[in-house]
Amino acid sequence: MSEPLTLNIGLCGFGTVGQGVWKHLSANLAELESRLGVKLNLARAAVRDPKKVRGVKIPARKLTADPLAIANDPSIHIVCELMGGTTLARQVTLAALRHGKVVVSANKALICEHGPEIIAAAQKHGGHFFFEASVAGGIPIIKALREGLVANRFPRIYGILNGTCNYILTQMEEHDAPYAPVLAEAKRLGYAEADESLDVDGWDTAHKAAVLAWLAHGVWVKPGQMIVEGISRITPDDFKNAATLGFGIKLLAVITRDLARNELSVRVHPTLLPASNVIANVSGVFNAISVTGDVVGTTLYSGRGAGQDATASAVISDIADAAALLKHGKGGHLLGEASAPARGGCRLAPPESIRCRYYLRLTVKDQPGVLARVASVMARQKVSIASVIQSPAATPGAASLVLTTHQSNERAMRDTLKLLGRLGAVLEAPLLIRSGDFD
């Protein structure tokens, strides 16, 4: 009986996720090797400071300060890029792929910014690129799209992809608390970074949405081509107003494709969801994704979207896939490397094709005739008002005016906001929240 194939694994980056991968892979090594029929050797790890004391112990002989040394090491079969960032991570990823290695990555920003280049390098040099951990942590959404749902086209994918924002919004809603102190508490608990902007301004979610859009539709959509709005202007009053209307508020990625027109829309923004919607009830740091396929219908995925254990689970899943690929020579199709034209390439939807209902909050002078002037502006843009909620504002002499609309479109609402901002009676920039008309 021949000896099982030995696969050497190198980790580039040994922070929270890297240590989680090393810890869990070491703990479950025998069982995983038995299931895969290979030997897995945690050969090397690249760290910034080899002398730093870490929670996960690793022999000093296995440490290096040079991640490129791992990428270029001919004895390493699987390179796990867990550093973050897009500069050195790109160099390491491309170097490994040029040697025909398998690269496992958790880096959504890298994929969003350099995806076409990475996939091209994998194809050219016979390497392979796996990235389950880049979106939604431990939720196997990438495997679902590229394997389990391969028979489908996807009219709609939407969901919560950022646990930090979901935690903040949950706390604001449950405790009737303003944004700033909730953000401060999220930082204290380690749910938010010292610089929170990547999360709360929607860019982290946009990177993940770009990955999902490519997997589902074969089109690379840059964040600059999306509608991207964050949560910092949401107030406790918005939650109260939403509840009055029968809604909750979540920061969602929304990827829609009009199959008849072949138009694709990718957007990230706070969204009103009916209280009965399952995703509206996903709280705390959890993620949830709804995927509608033209064959299967709607499927739902929920779980921890970040953290050491959830992300390590996804990385180890990709390592297992890589091991199967290297042992059996199968699985290249799982990378979804078809070009956009081969997958029925679609174009980005113009603003007038992106339609939904809207929630519009205005802080206005508390005086007669203001509502009529606002309604006149909206009527000129053919935006129909469905309901009005008026209440005193925190500023003396001001009122809060909340209007919901019947279905309209992004172009009409952009023009409406521009004109409303010019009214002397409007005291602050209007707040717009889109309605999730998904049912």
Supply the pLDDT for residue 203. Answer: 96
Distance, in Å, from the CA atom of 331 to the CA atom of 325, rounded to the nearest integer, reads 5
Element (H, E) at 243: helix 236-245
- Taken in order of first residue, the domains within the chain and their CATH numbers are 5-137+308-341 (3.40.50.720), 142-305 (3.30.360.10), 352-435 (3.30.70.260)
Distance, in Å, from the CA atom of 98 to the CA atom of 117, rounded to the nearest integer, reads 12
Q: Average pLDDT in the 188-203 region?
A: 91
Beta partners for 11? Answer: 45, 80
Question: Which of 101, 108, 208, 250 is the catalytic position?
Answer: 208
For the chain, the helix, strand and coil percentages under 3-state DSSP, each to the nearest 5: 40, 25, 35
**Conformation bin of residue 176: beta by default, left when phi > 0, alpha when psi is -120 to 50:** left
Supply the pLDDT for residue 338. Answer: 41
Mention every residue, 6+ apart, whose C-beta is less than 8 A from residue 213. Answer: 219, 220, 221, 255, 264, 266
Q: Which residues of 281-291 are buried (b: 16+ CB within 10 A; e: fewer)?
A: ebbebbbbbbb
CA torsion sign for 143, 147, 152, 153 is positive
Model confidence at 221: pLDDT above 80: yes
Q: Average pLDDT in the 290-315 region?
A: 92
Q: Average pLDDT in the 285-310 region?
A: 93
Supply the pLDDT for residue 2. Answer: 67
Q: Which residues of 188-199 are buried (b: 16+ CB within 10 A; e: fewer)?
A: eeebbeeebebb
Q: Average pLDDT in the 156-165 region?
A: 96
345: its two tokens: 């390439």
Q: Average pLDDT in the 197-216 region?
A: 95
Supply the pLDDT for residue 72. Answer: 97
Q: What are phi and psi of 429, to 5 degrees?
A: -60, 130
**What are the pLDDT digits (tens) for 106-159?**
999 999 999 999 999 999 999 999 999 899 888 999 999 988 999 999 999 999
Mean of per-residue pLDDT scores for the chain: 92
Supply the pLDDT for residue 332. Answer: 45
Q: Average pLDDT in the 33-57 region?
A: 92
Contact 270, 251 (CB under 8 A): yes
Supply the pLDDT for residue 248. Answer: 97
**What are the pLDDT digits (tens) for 222-280?**
999 999 999 999 999 999 999 999 999 999 999 999 999 999 999 999 999 999 999 99
Supply the pLDDT for residue 305. Answer: 82
Q: Which residue has the tokens 């113009």?
A: 350
DSSP β-ladder status, 78-81 and 5-12: parallel
pTM, entire model:
0.91
Distance, in Å, from the CA atom of 82 to the CA atom of 131, rounded to the nearest integer, reads 11
Distance, in Å, from the CA atom of 235 to the CA atom of 159, rounded to the nearest integer, reads 21
User: CA distances (Å), 42 to each of 10, 37, 98, 246, 370, in order?
Assistant: 6, 16, 22, 52, 68
Element (H, E) at 116: helix 108-125
**What are the pLDDT digits (tens) for 335-362?**
444 433 345 578 999 999 999 999 999 9
Q: Is residue 208 flagged as an active site residue?
A: yes
Q: What is the CB neighbour count within 10 angstroms for residue 203?
A: 19
Mention every residue, 6+ apart, whose C-beta is less than 8 A from residue 99. Answer: 71, 72, 74, 125, 127
Supply the pLDDT for residue 53. Answer: 85
Rg (CA), the chain: 24
Q: Which residue has the tokens 């889109």?
A: 434
